[in-house]
Amino acid sequence: MSTVLDNKPHPRPLVQAGGEPLDVLADFPAIPEGWAYLDTAATAQKPKPVIDAITRAYGETYATVHRGVYQRSADMTLAYEAARRRVATFLNAGSADEIVFVRGATEAINLVARSWGHAHLKAGDRILLSRLEHHSNIVPWQMLRDRTGVEIDVAPLTEDGRIDLDAVERMLTPAHKLVALAHVSNVLGSLLDVRRAADLAHGVGAKLLVDGCQAVPRLAVDVAALDCDFYVFSGHKLYGPTGIGCLWARPELLDAMPPWQGGGSMIDKVTFERTTYAPPPTRFEAGTPHIVGALGLHAAIDYVESIGLSAIHAHETALVRQTRDALRDLNSVTLFGPEDSAGIVSFAVEGVHPHDVGTILDEARVAIRAGHHCAQPLMEALGVPATARASFGVYNGPADVDALVKGIERVRRIFG
């Protein structure tokens, strides 16, 4: 009989490094032949092992966690906690207790703002963000500012769209208590030198929070080597389910953080006079968690690691190069972001709104994202209302780039 723990590694004989096609398309049942799915930065398609793990969890092994006195629940608790350990090894965290399951990166950042921010920041303290942040790494800090009187500073970008760490160095003061930056920009694909950002933040006594949403699907992440203080990501961008994500934080930070939501599971003892709380990570996981989401995330991590993040990175880098080289040759196309962007290419076609670009590409069975990408301040800095964005995943190949380029040529013909 299968148990919740028999998450078998997926056999993978076809992996090739060096930017060659990974040949894993057959693992993705929701990608029909001839459909170029270039919106992985929004959400990744799901491989069979993830779908199977979810189906098995709901269809064969389902039960609640952490309170069942019966075997099925005990098994499910083991599987849920095994998923937490899997995330810990994936990020090279010191222990599974440093991993808090949340709904996604948005919730993780709100958790840090609400809990750590409220407990440790006061009027006059400063937070440093950058101009390319996703709204989920802007708005929670503004909400904290409105409640506490902290000030927010915004670091500029370099010409080619990276967070300008020289400017960060000049801007940081001892009043800064937190620096919160994206590891990889969801619009430009620009990659942050996290280690340098950590050194700069720590140099003035600030903590560094890294938004790893777009990094974990395409780069090996080692929180110990990066020396950051908080790291957040969403499972659905990592080929896992929606509704599950993670906050990693240094254990001493988690220990000193008050709960941010109250309810079941996060307590030690409740009386009407006084409630005491469980230690981390449980203190931050009020209510019945997304049990099956955690198991799906476990399968997703197994999946990407069975391919290898260095192979994925090389593969996506080759596709980005092919895309940029082809689009550069089209004289009415503007490319945004640095040449070595990680898996993501934003562009504009002169005289054509990105939504029209997206609609015409859709007719050619090419799915891209068009809009502000939840980064309105970045759009303002780029001087555009929106961009078109192609983003890559393990299932894409050179034929998808060809389809994109042909589709853009058609856009140019239609708009003269």
Ligand X SMILES: Cc1ncc(COP(=O)(O)O)c(C=O)c1O
**Residues near ligand X, by CB under 6 A:** 104-106, 134, 136-137, 182, 186, 211, 213-214, 234, 374
Q: At what angle do helices 309-328 and 398-414 cross, to 10 degrees?
A: 30
**Smallest gap from residue 42 Cβ to ligand X (A):** 6
Which among 223, 233, 206 has a CA at the least distance from the CA of 109? 233
Cβ proximity to ligand X: between 220 and 374 the closer is 374
Cβ proximity to ligand X: between 56 and 101 the closer is 101
- The answer to whether residues 235 and 304 touch, using CB atoms and an 8 Å cutoff, is no
Q: Sign of the C-alpha dihedral, residues 214, 216, 222, 223?
A: positive
- Integer-rounded Cα Rg, in Å, for the chain is 22
What residues contact 344, with CB distance under 8 A and at least 6 apart? 41, 184, 185, 186, 187, 188, 189, 214, 320, 337, 389, 390, 391, 392
**Smallest gap from residue 72 Cβ to ligand X (A):** 30
Catalytic residue (one of 213, 228, 246, 374) = 374
Cβ proximity to ligand X: between 38 and 182 the closer is 182
Q: 230-234 and 245-249: which strand pairing?
A: antiparallel
Cβ proximity to ligand X: between 130 and 234 the closer is 234
Cβ proximity to ligand X: between 104 and 338 the closer is 104
* Order of all β-strands in the sheet with 369-371: 333-336, 344-349, 387-391, 369-371
**Smallest gap from residue 203 Cβ to ligand X (A):** 25
**Smallest gap from residue 38 Cβ to ligand X (A):** 15
Cβ proximity to ligand X: between 192 and 408 the closer is 192
Cα separation, 416 vs 407, whole angstroms? 14
DSSP-derived secondary structure letter, 31: S
Cα separation, 382 vs 347, whole angstroms? 11
**Smallest gap from residue 119 Cβ to ligand X (A):** 23
Cα separation, 336 vs 346, whole angstroms? 5
Active site residue 246: no
Q: 151-155 and 126-130: which strand pairing?
A: parallel
**Smallest gap from residue 289 Cβ to ligand X (A):** 16
Task: Tell me which residues are annotated as active site.
Answer: 374
